[in-house]
Every structure is written in C-alpha cells, then in structure tokens.
Amino acid sequence: MTRAGGFLHAVRAGLAGMLAGFACMAWAQSAGTDALADIQGDYAVSLAQFNRYAQWDLRGVDGRRGVVFGLRQDEIIEGLELDLAYRHSDALLQDLSQLNVVLNGEVVASHPIAETQADAGRLQIPLPLAHLRPYNYLELQLIGHYTMGCENPMHPDLWARIDDSSRLVFDVRKRVLPDDLGLLPAPIFDPRDVRGLEVPFVLGQPSGKRLEAAGIVASWLGALAGYRGATFSAHESVLPTQGHAIVVLGAGESLPGLSLPAAQGPTVAMRSNPHDPAGKLLIITGRNDDEIRSAAVSLALGAEALSGSTATVAHIHDQPRKPYDAPNWLPSDRPVKLGELLPLREFTVSGYEPGPISIGLRLPPDLSDWRTKTVPLDLLYRHSAVDRDDVATLDVVVNQQRVRRIELASREEAARGLVSDDSLLNTTVHLPLSMLESQAGLQFQFKYKPPFHSECRGSLVDARRSAVDPRSTIDLRGLPHHKAMPDLAAFATSGFPFTRMADLSDTVVVMPAAAGPDGFSAYLTLLGKMGWVTGYPATRVTVAAAQDDAVLTDKDVVLLDAGSKSGLLEQWASYLPAPRRAGSALAKDGGVGGWIATLSGWVARTSLGGVAAKPVSAPADGAYVAGFESPVSSGRSVVAISGADGPGLRKAIELLATDEVQRSRVQGSLVVVRDARVESLSDAKRYYTGSLGVFQTLSWHLSNHPFLLFLLYLLGALLVGVVVYLSLRAKARKRLGVGKPGSQ
C-alpha cells in the first residue's frame, strides 16, 4: 500500500474514534488550564509523508495539489508553519503569477512569484490556527501567466514544482488526556499522525507467555501503523521519562511511582506516566502469565469495546485462521472488487492529464506462474467522449511499467451508437503474474490531448471526467501456491513463510532467556512488521527459550540470537547456507570461466550437502540473516537472525523493518547486514513449499529434469515395442498353427 493510500486508510479507521476524540477535547476545555501539561516542543513533518509523490507539478493557469493532515488528540497546536520549497518556470510573469496556500477551502496566504528566483524559492508561511480541524486539507494553487496579452491556459510554460523538502512545522503543547480505555488505540497510536510509530514496552520479568503477550500487542500496533512504520523498544523495569508506553507486568510486580490495578482476571488499564503527566501507560496484567496473554489477545481483537480506566476482560477465543487469509492480502478464492481496496471517491479523476488512480496490491509471495502466466483484470471504466482526431488513452500500469494501452472511443464512434458519452465500458486486461510482486502498485492513467486553443478565445473549460468502476475485479483463483525456498526476499518484504497464517499459528520464535532489552526490542519490531504485512495481530504466536522438538515439530521457526551462541543455533550450524564463493562471480560473465565456476559450485554444494563449509559468524556491529529447511520437519522453514551483540541484532531488524531501499536488496538464502547496508552472500535454494497438485507436480518435475523425461520416453517406447512384438508374434503363431495339436 502506498504511503498516501495507507494514510487515507488510517483516516477512515480513525473516524470511528473521532467521537471519543471530541469528548476528550470537550473534557480538556472544561478542565481549563489543568488539562494542559507544561511541556512544549516542535517537530516537522515532510509533505512527502502525506503524499504519494516526492514532487508535485502544478500546471496551467490554475494548477492545484493538496494533502490531508491531522492533529493529534494529545496535543494543542500553538503554532503551525508551512516551510515551502519550490521552483517555477522562467517564463512566468512575476508581476501577475502567484502561489496561493489554501487551508480547508480558505485562501490563507498568497505570494507573488516575484519574491523568489526561478531555480529555487523557499517560503515560511504561518497558517492560521482558527482554520484547523481534527483533519485538514492543505492545498497549493498556482495562478500562472506567461504573457500580458491573450494566452493558452494549457501552455507548457505554465508550471511550478513543489520540492519534497517542503514540510509542516508544528509548535505544540501537550494535552493531558483522561485515563480512559475508550480512547484506544489513542494516544499510543493516533491515526491523525503520519510520523513513524515508536513505542517503548516495559516487560518486568519476561517469560515466554509475557513475550507472546507483548508480541501480540506489537503486531496489533504494527497493523494499525502499517502505512508509516513502527519500531519498538523493550525495558525490563524502568518506565520512560516521557511519552507513552505499554507495560506488561504480573500482579505481584510493581514499578517505582506506578500502582498496578488489582487483577481479578485478565486486566487492561490506563494510567498516567508518573514521570510525564501527559504520557499514558497502557497496562496489561493478570494473576498469572496465561491471564496476561489472554488480556493481550482481548486488547488486540476488542479494543473498541473497552472503557474506563481499568477493565477486566473476558477471554476472547479467536477463531483459527486459514492459510493465506490475511486481511491485507488479496483473497485467492474469489474475484476481488477494486472497490474493496480503495475509497470510492478516488476512482474518479478530472482533467486532460489527471493524476493516476493508484491501488496498492498485496499478494501471497508464493503464487506460482509455472503454468498460468497472467492474472485477469475485468476492467470497467467510463470517460468523456473525445473527438475523432484526438488522442485519448487509458494506460494500465503495474509497478511503473505499462501493461496495456487502451484507446478511448471517439465522438464518431459515439455518433454511430458504438459508445455513448459516459457509458460503462468493459475489457479484460491480463496482468503478468511475474510483475505482481508481494507488494505491487496498480495504476490507471487517463490522458487526453488538449484541444488546440488559439489566443483570445476565452478560457478553456476542462470538463473531462474519467473513472474506473469500483466493480472491476481482479481474480487470483486457480493459481497454485508453490515456491523455491529459502527466499529471504519474501521474508523481508512479506514475512513469508510465517505470515502464511495471519495469526502466526504455525510460527515459533526461539530466543535465549537472557536475550536482554535489545533482543526483546528486535523481537517486538519483527512482530510489528508481521502485523503490518498481514493486517492482523499475531494472536497464536509461540515464544520458546530453548530447543523442544515437540514445540518445533511441524512449525516454521524464527531463531533470534544476540551473540549469546544459543545452543539451538550451534546445533543447527551445519544447516546454514554456504556463502557464495569468491570465484562464483565468474558465472555471470559466461565463457569458460563461467562454466568452471558453475561446475565447481555444483560440486561444492553436492559434496557439502548445500551447507556452509565453515561457520558463518555475524559481523561486528551487524548481523546475518540465513534461511534453511527445518531440521525437525521437512518442508518447514527456519530463518535465523544472529547479531554480533544485542545492538547489532536490533539495528539489523529495524533496518529491514523501516528501510525500503535496503529491504529490496535482501535476496537468496544468506545476507549480511552491517553499516546500514545489506549484502547478499548466497542464493542457494534447496526445498519447496506449497503444492502444484498431483499432475502438475509430475509435469513440473519432468520439465525440470529433461534427462528423466528422456528416460521415461525411452522406457515407454521400449514397452510399446515389447507389446507390439508380443502381439505380432502371437498372431504369427496363430496363423502358422504353432502350438496346435498335430502341428510340427
């Protein structure tokens, strides 16, 4: 999902909590100055975080682009400034052209182009606080002119570009919210904020069940904050000095300055941070570890039902999930309407060159294209009629690559009754499955050729309307799940194979009991990433401290190690993939050297069984990530993430969770993460997950082993020859009477 699309999704999700927010605002106003903390600060948010484009182009005599931004419930805005950087055409008349700033439909600032240079301009524009609402629409408008006489309103010299360094600067004072669970997920997660989510966890005396409880909450928050990313830090017995935090403690434990509620069962409570009156602590507790875990499940699945400062929650029995049914993934058992993936208002665009209609697609990463190469898109669309000689097109684009160009109907066709203006049209577009990655962008770009407009003929009315019908469907049915493993790219981007079950019911996380705060932080950030991928909390994840074949049997394993040389990692060291040999680069160059490298690599893998010839060790201040087949259960996967120390492990997982560029470099079965960079060391693949079905599996094996296919053909020919020979011999003997009584 794109950043903008995710933010709009969060806006929709946050509407349900607006009533609680308004109640909170009313409470703060009635409480007077006591509702404000004496804590002030400022921060800046880039406009690129609100918008899907790094730069905006404003074109024409009246070019407009805008973003939606929200105000946090726990902040009072005391000052808001737009720090605007832009460039403009040299041809613009600086005395007549201007840049307007529009806030919620009102022009709040107007700056003549003359105040800046054409190559670079920067403005600091205060925004009036009286115009602010919980959600706001900020729009930039270019009023452009290039001549004192008559002009073409679509002239190419009419443009200004807003730079991605533009930002909103907030000056805020913290608001003291009531201890009310009805505000959840605020203030821990506020859907109006687009900054990356950072939440500390206080774990007290972490056990396996408590770590599972913390992981469930982290994955819940990760699912909510998917559009902006989330990282988590762990502390054993120290509350943060400021801000919000989540506390996971037993009934008999306590922290300085914090009084835990008396637990009568699984309990969720909200309290003020004793070190920060504006900070809130979300407390998860119970009489034992099982109740603590149950409280976490109830919070993740039923937070909207909680109220008051303390709630004893009933046990929620979450229904077992089915494979590949993650809410964020496209279902593969039915056609999916595009209207399920995007707000309806975004399917209609206006203008001769409108912005694209963009839809984020998340697919299971193990869909096989061995037999089926394309995915059908049943596309329904509308458009304004065009003249006979005009060029009007609809481009279907996947990941910035055009898949299909559709010529839009002309007025002549409309006059012949082939199509009427604004009629619903239909076509089938076959999207290449190879381009539909686990996270893909689907775009529909309408484009009309502006009509010739001579000067002094009045303004050009841009009345073009185009739309993709939300009833259009994309259909993944019939695609088998089958994938060569290990594939760390699928793990880095989609958490596969662990996210195959949205609740992580087939996943065991193995980490040493003495992992420490950095190890626990890495675990929580990883679970938050899993929640972002699936859109569902990891309510059935299992955390184990040591090897237990009964726990690991028929499970996928995440093995976290922070330099402690855990017994399980040492025991499984022989299964780690072998680093690529230095000479293997020759294989890419072809020729004799490539053949020699390929042959030597094959011999090495065969003789060593595909495992490392010598132990793989984590680099200083870094970590390695290795994937291999589970030694306990065939067909199951293990991903081992081992850091030289706790900080190295934590940095590596945070980098993979938050840095899209570095995450895209994760490939193969072994990578090293160091100095904020990723390097792939091995691309060996040794086993497969999923199934193609009996007949397709047989065909697939034969297609991958042509010599075996030749032997089968040879055996078949031999059998046919034997049958024909025996048949002919029997006929000959019968004709000659061989074997009859009296025959000689």
Helix H, strand E, coil C: the string for 390-426 is: CCEEEEEEECCEEEEEEECCEHHHHHCCCCCCCCCEE
Q: Which two tokens stand for residue 691?
A: 């199934």
Residue 742 located in a structural domain: no
CA atoms within 13 A on the CB side of 477: 8
Cα–Cα distance measured from residue 310 to residue 306, given in angstroms and rounded to the nearest whole number: 9
CB-based contact 85:166 (threshold 8 Å): yes
Cα–Cα distance measured from residue 615 to residue 621, given in angstroms and rounded to the nearest whole number: 18
Task: State residue 190's pLDDT score.
Answer: 94
Mean pLDDT of 235-248: 91
What count of other Cβ atoms lies within 10 Å of the Cβ of residue 571?
Answer: 11
What's the pTM? 0.83
Which of 116, 145, 175 terminates a domain? The answer is 175
CB-based contact 279:286 (threshold 8 Å): no
Cα–Cα distance measured from residue 718 to residue 242, given in angstroms and rounded to the nearest whole number: 81
Least confident range of 136-140, 185-189, 238-242, 724-728: 724-728
pLDDT above 70 (res 36): no
CB-based contact 682:692 (threshold 8 Å): no
CA angle 217, 544, 649 (to 5 degrees): 70
pLDDT above 60 (res 421): no
Residue 727 located in a structural domain: yes
Give the closest residue to 575 by CA, choosing from 486, 652, 507.
486
CB-based contact 605:684 (threshold 8 Å): yes
Strand partners, 690: 482
Say whether both 212 and 124 belong to one domain.
no
Q: Is the dihedral of CA 409, 411, 417, 420 positive or negative?
A: positive
Residues 6+ apart with CB under 8 A from 16: 304
Helices (H), 104-240: 208-224
Strand order across the 310-312 sheet: 230-235, 197-202, 245-248, 276-285, 267-273, 310-312
CA angle 218, 19, 341 (to 5 degrees): 60
Range(s) of the domain holding residue 452? 336-474
Q: Mark 710-725 as b/e (b = at least 16 C-beta within 10 Å).
A: eeeeeeeeeeeeeeee
Question: What is the identity of the amino acid at 465?
Answer: R
Which of 140, 157, 175 terminates a domain? The answer is 175
pLDDT above 80 (res 498): yes
Cα–Cα distance measured from residue 418 to residue 438, given in angstroms and rounded to the nearest whole number: 39
Say whether both 169 and 36 belong to one domain.
yes
Task: State residue 696's pLDDT score.
Answer: 65
Task: State residue 154's pLDDT score.
Answer: 75
Q: 480 or 149: whose pLDDT is higher?
A: 480
Residue 586 located in a structural domain: no
Backbone angles phi, psi at 360, to 5 degrees: -85, 130
CB-based contact 245:279 (threshold 8 Å): yes
Residues 6+ apart with CB under 8 A from 724: none
For 554-596, the DSSP string reads T-EEEEEESSS--HHHHHTGGGSBPPPPGGGGGGGG-HHHHHH
**CATH assignment of the domain containing 400:** 2.60.120.260
Least confident range of 92-101, 129-138, 187-196, 697-706: 697-706
Strand partners, 667: none
Q: Which two tokens stand for residue 636?
A: 């199951």
Say whether both 486 and 470 belong to one domain.
no
CA atoms within 13 A on the CB side of 603: 7
Say whether both 38 and 159 belong to one domain.
yes
Strand partners, 117: none
Residue 600 located in a structural domain: no
Q: Mark 192-231 as b/e (b = at least 16 C-beta within 10 Å).
A: bbbeebebbbbbbebbbbbbbbbbbbbbbbbbbbbbbbbb
pLDDT above 50 (res 323): yes
Strand partners, 406: 394
Least confident range of 3-17, 169-183, 556-570: 3-17
pLDDT digits (tens, 9 = 90+) for 600-655: 443 344 433 444 445 577 777 789 999 999 999 999 999 999 988 889 999 999 99
Residue 54 located in a structural domain: yes
Considering 22-31, 69-78, 658-667, 692-701, the range whose residues carry the highest mean pLDDT is 69-78
Cα–Cα distance measured from residue 423 to residue 108, given in angstroms and rounded to the nearest whole number: 40
Residue 587 located in a structural domain: no
pLDDT above 70 (res 28): no
Number of domains in the chain: 5
Backbone angles phi, psi at 615, to 5 degrees: -55, 140
Cα–Cα distance measured from residue 350 to residue 464, given in angstroms and rounded to the nearest whole number: 6
Task: State residue 742's pLDDT score.
Answer: 58
pLDDT digits (tens, 9 = 90+) for 356-371: 999 999 999 989 877 7
**CATH assignment of the domain containing 682:** 3.30.379
Cα–Cα distance measured from residue 609 to residue 323, given in angstroms and rounded to the nearest whole number: 31
Say whether both 345 and 388 belong to one domain.
yes
Q: How far apart are the first and last CA of the chain?
A: 88
Say whether both 407 and 469 belong to one domain.
yes
How many helices (H) and strands (E) in the chain? 14, 35
Average pLDDT over the chain reads 82
Q: 612 or 499: whose pLDDT is higher?
A: 499
Task: State residue 245's pLDDT score.
Answer: 96
* 3-state DSSP assignment of residue 297: helix
Considering 212-216, 433-437, 513-517, the range whose residues carry the highest mean pLDDT is 212-216
Q: What is the CA radius of gyration of the chain?
A: 31
Task: State residue 557's pLDDT score.
Answer: 95
Residues 6+ apart with CB under 8 A from 328: 1, 226, 362, 533, 534, 535, 536
Say whether both 163 and 247 belong to one domain.
no
Task: State residue 354's pLDDT score.
Answer: 84
Say whether both 493 and 626 belong to one domain.
yes
Say whether both 285 and 357 belong to one domain.
no
Mean pLDDT of 564-576: 81
Which of 114, 140, 175 terminates a domain? The answer is 175
Task: State residue 320's pLDDT score.
Answer: 87
Say whether both 440 and 409 belong to one domain.
yes
Residue carrying structure tokens 């443009």: 159
Residue 667 has what DSSP assignment? -
Residue 323 located in a structural domain: no
CA atoms within 13 A on the CB side of 286: 21
Cα–Cα distance measured from residue 42 to residue 171, given in angstroms and rounded to the nearest whole number: 4
Q: 429 or 391: whose pLDDT is higher?
A: 429
Say whether both 545 and 660 belong to one domain.
yes
Whether a cis peptide bond, with omega within 30° of 0, leads into 486 is yes
Residue 583 located in a structural domain: no
**CATH assignment of the domain containing 243:** 3.30.379.10
Say whether both 507 and 656 belong to one domain.
yes
